[in-house]
């Protein structure tokens, strides 16, 4: 293997561009089709919505901190949990993960851009528009009837509550259209990621040599086609119902409310896996680098991912055990749901085996990944509990369920995301984030997380239903809810450390160089930040860890992978 070093002579742009008028810079970002810029816009946009969704969560926790509270009205509380859920899933989770995918996939496969750069820009802007549309409902939801109202039908918007009679005004339409448009954007970006992965790989980057991150994004994007499209179809039906009087979910005319539940959860459950696969992807990249070992069981990891992708399509009705599906239906979905813990378990064991015997470096990205491992395990265990239909009959719609899925979404996905931020920030900006602030962020957030979501299981077990705006004193829920609220404060403090660190490091962080972590995938072979064309010459790879081969010509991976 030969190497070419340095192509800096070609890349004079960054220095030449300094001191351009701000209007030019704004124009460039608005019209860009560069996958890195679009990726960053996705991430920035998601971070803004993360703060908005976080504030909504804080308001709900203040309301529930003590019994008989009147901090917000019941109507406002309904809007808060609807907006919190919708925001976090469609306008934080999806865009932030697509943002990382956009940024990293072409770099990792040695490509210069996505397969369809203009479609990429379109998908971003339509998703961004959808988020704005959702929040515009606060001021624009039907001027006369429901001025200043937001959607209040819950994030899964069960029929017949969404019918025109029960949800007059336009707030529900804003929800429908926002979710519909965000779905269009998601399908566009997913299509782009699949096509990029299949058609844009550099020489030698066989499917069996792709970084696991790219593999997981491939599977996740393929799932988007079959999971998000049903939601899009269901939103078309709902809009027809509300606007031209069709009867899809109209029980008065023989329509079925349960059909909406099926359509929603056919989307809803795979969506959880769509969100968690990128988190797995980050962990797949970070753990080996900080354990100084190649990933354990690469083919098993790929197989487990594909397995999760398939099985996750057949588990949706475990959200509907309390509807009364009949014994056969219940048994099937109990079984399917429990089966999915097998490939997931394979992944956990592979990560442990990767760490085992490694020279572990406890840098900030790595400690977030270790926290991810523990928390994801617990989230999976409560998931298996809830997979048993009788258990759900007892605890369905209680705070136990809320605690369970927040354990996945926050404890696994958000925590892995934080790790990813610390890991790739040097590549994106050329500067390191501060380690000490990173540790503060980690501990504040983890302590807050466990205060909030460990204790949240208990009121659920004691019978506290979700989505109630207040409760009586003397039911034994008061202290627990107060602890949950205090945990939220710790988490918010951790996130503030993180945001401060992001901004501080951009100006004052240590220069990173092109490969600060001594890592092995292709994105670390180009400059930080990467030039617009990513690679001055097209790379060629011989193994799964091209930079390892480059740094250790005496002991290359390609020797073993033959």
Q: Cα separation of 19 and 32, whole Å?
A: 19
Contact letters for other proteins, residues 375-414 (x by CB under 8 A): ----------------------------------------
Supply the minimum distance, in Å, between the C-beta of residue 105 and other proteins: 14
Sequence-ordered list of residues with C-beta below 8 angstroms from that of 195, at least 6 positions apart, any chain: 114, 115, 116
Say if CB 77 and CB 469 are below 8 A apart: yes
Q: Cβ closer to other proteins: 45 or 535?
A: 535
Supply the minimum distance, in Å, between the C-beta of residue 360 and other proteins: 22
**How many residues belong to the chain?**
562
Supply the minimum distance, in Å, between the C-beta of residue 62 and other proteins: 40
The verdict on 1 binding other proteins (CB under 8 A) reads yes
Q: Cα separation of 271 and 89, whole Å?
A: 9
Interacting residue with other proteins among 167, 312, 344, 528 (CB under 8 A): 528
| Element containing residue 561 per DSSP (H, E) | helix 557-561
The verdict on 361 binding other proteins (CB under 8 A) reads no
**C-alpha dihedral sign at 523, 529, 533, 537:** negative
The verdict on 473 binding other proteins (CB under 8 A) reads no
Q: Which of residues 237-256 bind other proteins (CB under 8 A)?
A: 237, 240, 244-248, 253-256
Among 462, 463, 473, 450, which residue's Cα sits nearest to residue 66? Answer: 473
Q: Cβ closer to other proteins: 323 or 377?
A: 323
Q: How far is CA 360 from CA 23, 118, 317, 350, 545, in A?
A: 46, 42, 41, 16, 19
Beta-strand ranges (E) seen in 455-510 are none
**Stretch touching other proteins by CB under 8 A, among 57-65, 320-328, 447-455, 507-515:** 507-515
Q: Which of residues 101-120 bind other proteins (CB under 8 A)?
A: 115-116
Q: Which residue has the tokens 């890991």?
A: 423
Q: Which of residues 416-445 bind other proteins (CB under 8 A)?
A: 430
Supply the minimum distance, in Å, between the C-beta of residue 516 and other proteins: 7
Q: Cβ closer to other proteins: 225 or 393?
A: 225
Q: Which of residues 218-237 bind other proteins (CB under 8 A)?
A: 222, 224-226, 228-230, 232-234, 236-237
Q: Cβ closer to other proteins: 306 or 462?
A: 306
The verdict on 199 binding other proteins (CB under 8 A) reads yes
Q: Which of residues 8-37 bind other proteins (CB under 8 A)?
A: 8
DSSP state of 155: T
Dihedral over alpha carbons 187, 117, 92, 94 (to 10 degrees): 30
Interacting residue with other proteins among 514, 532, 533, 561 (CB under 8 A): 514
The verdict on 165 binding other proteins (CB under 8 A) reads no
**What Rg do the C-alpha atoms of the chain give, in angstroms?**
24
Supply the minimum distance, in Å, between the C-beta of residue 270 and other proteins: 11
Q: Cβ closer to other proteins: 87 or 192?
A: 192
Supply the minimum distance, in Å, between the C-beta of residue 134 and other proteins: 22
Q: What is the DSSP string of 273-299?
A: HHHHHHHHHHHHHHHHHHHTSPPTTHH
């Amino acid at each position: 293997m030969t190497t070419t070093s340095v192509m800096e002579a070609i890349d004079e742009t960054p220095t030449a561009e300094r001191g351009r008028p701000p209007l030019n810079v704004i124009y460039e970002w608005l019209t860009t089709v560069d996958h890195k810029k679009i990726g960053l816009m996705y991430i920035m946009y998601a971070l803004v919505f993360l703060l908005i969704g976080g504030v909504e969560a804080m308001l709900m926790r203040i309301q529930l901190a003590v019994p008989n509270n009147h901090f917000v009205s019941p109507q406002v509380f309904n809007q808060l949990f609807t907006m919190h859920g919708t925001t976090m899933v469609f306008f934080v989770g999806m865009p932030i993960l697509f943002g990382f995918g956009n940024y990293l996939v072409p770099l990792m496969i040695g490509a210069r851009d996505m397969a369809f750069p203009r479609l990429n820009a379109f998908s971003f802007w339509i998703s961004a528009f959808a988020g704005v549309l959702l929040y515009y409902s606060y001021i624009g939801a039907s001027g006369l009837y429901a001025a200043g109202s937001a959607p209040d039908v819950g994030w899964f918007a069960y029929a017949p509550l969404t019918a025109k009679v029960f949800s007059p005004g336009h707030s529900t339409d804003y929800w429908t259209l926002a979710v519909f448009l965000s779905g269009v954007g998601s399908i566009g970006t997913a299509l782009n990621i699949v096509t990029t992965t299949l058609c844009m790989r550099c020489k030698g980057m066989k499917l069996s040599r792709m970084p696991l991150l790219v593999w997981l994004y491939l599977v996740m994007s393929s799932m988007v086609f079959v999971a998000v499209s049903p939601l899009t179809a269901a939103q078309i039906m709902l809009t027809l119902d509300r606007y031209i009087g069709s009867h899809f979910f109209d029980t008065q005319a023989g329509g079925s409310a349960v059909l909406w539940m099926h359509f929603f959860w056919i989307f809803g459950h795979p969506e959880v896996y769509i969100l968690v696969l990128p988190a797995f992807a980050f962990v797949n990249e970070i753990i080996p680098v900080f354990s100084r070992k190649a990933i354990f069981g690469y083919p098993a990891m790929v197989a487990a991912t594909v397995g999760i992708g398939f099985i996750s399509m057949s588990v949706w009705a475990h959200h509907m055990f309390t509807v009364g599906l009949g014994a056969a239906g219940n048994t099937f979905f109990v079984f399917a749901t429990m089966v999915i813990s097998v490939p997931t378990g394979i992944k956990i064991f592979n990560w442990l085996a990767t760490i085992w015997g490694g020279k572990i470096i406890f840098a900030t990205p790595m400690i977030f990944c270790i926290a991810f491992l523990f928390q994801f395990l617990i989230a999976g265990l409560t998931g298996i509990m809830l997979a048993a239909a009788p258990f759900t009959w007892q605890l369905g719609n209680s705070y136990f369920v809320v605690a369970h899925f927040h354990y996945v979404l926050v404890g696994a996905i958000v925590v892995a995301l934080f790790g990813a931020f610390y890991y790739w920030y040097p590549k994106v900006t050329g500067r390191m984030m501060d380690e000490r602030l990173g540790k503060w962020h980690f501990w504040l957030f983890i302590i807050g997380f466990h205060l909030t979501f460990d204790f949240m299981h208990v009121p659920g077990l004691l019978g506290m239903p979700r989505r109630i705006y207040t409760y009586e004193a003397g039911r034994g829920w008061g202290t627990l809810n107060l602890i949950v609220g205090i945990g939220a404060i710790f988490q918010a403090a951790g996130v503030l450390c993180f945001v401060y660190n992001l901004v501080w490091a951009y100006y004052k962080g240590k220069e990173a160089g092109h490969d600060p972590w001594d890592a092995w995938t292709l994105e670390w072979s180009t400059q930080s930040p990467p030039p617009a064309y990513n690679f001055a010459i097209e790379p060629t790879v011989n193994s799964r860890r091209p930079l390892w081969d480059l740094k250790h010509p005496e002991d290359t991976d390609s020797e073993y992978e033959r």
